[in-house]
Structure 1
Amino acid sequence: MFITICVGSSCHLKGSRQIIESLESLIKEHHLEDDIELNGSFCMGECMKGVCVTMNGTLYSLKPDNVEEFFNKEVLGGLR
Structure 2
Amino acid sequence: MVLKVCVGSACHIKGSEQVIQTLQKCIKEFHMEDKIVLKASFCLGNCTEAVSVTVEGEEGIFSLSPQNTAEFFKNIIKKVI
- Please indicate, yes or no, whether the TM-score normalized by the shorter chain is above 0.5: yes
1:55 alignment partner in structure 2: 55
Which residue of the partner structure matches residue 11 of structure 1?
11
Give the structure with the higher percent helix: 1
Of 58, 67, 70, which aligns to 2:69? 67
Note the residue ranges of structure 2 that are not aligned, 5 or more in a row.
none
Q: Which runs of 5 or more structure 1 residues have no equivalent in the other structure?
A: none
Give the superposed CA RMSD.
0.8
Normalised by the size of structure 2, how large is the TM-score?
0.94
Name 1:40's counterpart in structure 2. 40
Runs of 4+ in 1 over 2 A off after TM superposition: none
TM-score relative to the length of structure 1? 0.95
Q: How much identity, in percent, do the aligned residues show?
A: 46
